[in-house]
């Protein structure tokens, strides 16, 4: 029986994707809109403070295309805290003008494929930091869920550990070419959501997102074993950008 790889798990993660009901928003009074904007900015300020104190992290981006208008990505030490934030946002004034079009529940994950015999990666401060990351505020985000295939001869979960390690090594070599251009956060979601992992990529240049995803399609681990969900791509929204984003 193939052996499962051990994972190291960090902060819990919620991706919350919303569409704005622009016609209802337009019909709201200026006062109502101003209050909703102020409340959202206060929430963002609160999340920034939590981030400063290293008790969690957040991302806020507008999204392209028809599937959603914005994404909030939140990291917290417990799922309970994530639930409280989700509830607080749902009770906010802006939320009344939004519908949730997608969400994803997972936990920041690093696997031990690359760990050497006798080494404890948790002793490495770099590893510990990656489990509780500060999400970069780079210009672009790309988020998608994915699975490893389990079909006929292409069954990732039937491969021996050594083979999987080799394929992951090849994958990591492709990934490292994008150092400084792409920052990736892999979260695991087995038992938490519909797919097995979520991939969140941050980039200064949006084209680097297309380049890495394309190049990785040729890594055997993606070519043969990767199955992908919907892709979401978008642009950074700062707290100061909120009024212009919601101006109508």
Residue 113 makes contact with ligand 76R by CB under 6 A: yes
Shortest distance, position 80 Cβ to ligand 76R, whole Å: 26
171 is in an annotated binding site: yes
Strands 232-236 and 140-148: antiparallel
- Binding to ligand 76R by residue 44, rule CB under 6 A? no
Nearer to ligand 76R, 80 or 176 (CB): 176
- Are the beta carbons of 60 and 137 closer than 8 angstroms? no
Q: Does the footprint of ligand 76R cover residue 98 (CB under 6 A)?
A: no
CB of 14 to ligand 76R, least distance (A): 18
Annotation marks residue 113 as catalytic? no
Determine how β-strand 150-151 pairs with β-strand 232-236.
unpaired
Token pair, residue 76, equals: 């917290």
Point out the residue whose Cβ comes nearest to ligand 76R. Answer: 175
CA 35-40-42 angle, to 5 degrees, is 95
Measured CA angle at 217 (ends 133, 226), to 5 deg: 75
Using CA atoms of 186, 187, 189, 195 in order, give the dihedral in degrees to the nearest 10: -30
- Applying the rule CB under 6 A, the residues between 173 and 212 that interact with ligand 76R are 175-176, 178-179, 182, 184, 186, 197, 199, 201, 212
Q: Is 222 annotated as a binding residue?
A: yes
Distance CA(63)–CA(98), nearest Å, equals 14
Q: Which stretch binds ligand 76R (CB under 6 A): 31-39, 51-59, 81-89, 164-172?
A: 164-172
Instruction: Provide φ and ψ at 179, rounded to 5°.
Output: -55, 130
Residues that bind ligand 76R (CB under 6 A): 5, 110-111, 113-114, 146, 148, 168, 171-172, 175-176, 178-179, 182, 184, 186, 197, 199, 201, 212-213, 216, 222, 226
> Which residues are part of a known binding site?
130, 144-148, 171, 184, 222
């Amino acid at each position: 029986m193939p052996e499962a790889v051990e994972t190291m798990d960090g902060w819990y993660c919620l991706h919350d994707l919303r569409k704005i009901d622009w016609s209802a928003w337009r019909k709201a009074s200026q006062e109502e809109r101003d209050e909703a904007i102020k409340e959202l900015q206060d929430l963002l300020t609160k999340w920034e403070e939590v981030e400063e104190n290293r008790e969690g992290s957040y991302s806020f981006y507008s999204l392209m295309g028809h599937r959603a208008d914005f994404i909030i990505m939140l990291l917290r030490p417990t799922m309970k805290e994530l639930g409280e934030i989700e509830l607080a946002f749902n009770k906010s004034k802006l939320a009344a003008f939004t519908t949730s079009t997608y969400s994803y529940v997972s936990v920041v994950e690093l696997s031990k494929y690359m760990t050497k015999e006798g080494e404890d990666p948790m002793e490495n401060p770099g590893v510990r930091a990656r489990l509780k990351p500060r999400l970069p505020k780079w210009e672009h985000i790309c988020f998608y869920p994915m699975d490893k295939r389990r079909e006929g001869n292409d069954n990732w979960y039937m491969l021996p550990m050594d083979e999987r390690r080799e394929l992951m090594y090849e994958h990591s070599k492709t990934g490292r070419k994008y150092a400084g251009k792409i920052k990736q956060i892999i979260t695991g979601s087995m038992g938490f959501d519909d797919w097995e992992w979520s991939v969140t990529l941050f980039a200064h240049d949006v084209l680097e997102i297309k380049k890495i995803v394309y190049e990785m399609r040729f890594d055997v681990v993606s070519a043969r074993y990767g199955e992908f969900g919907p892709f979401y791509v978008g642009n950074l929204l700062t707290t100061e950008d909120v009024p212009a984003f919601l101006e109508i």
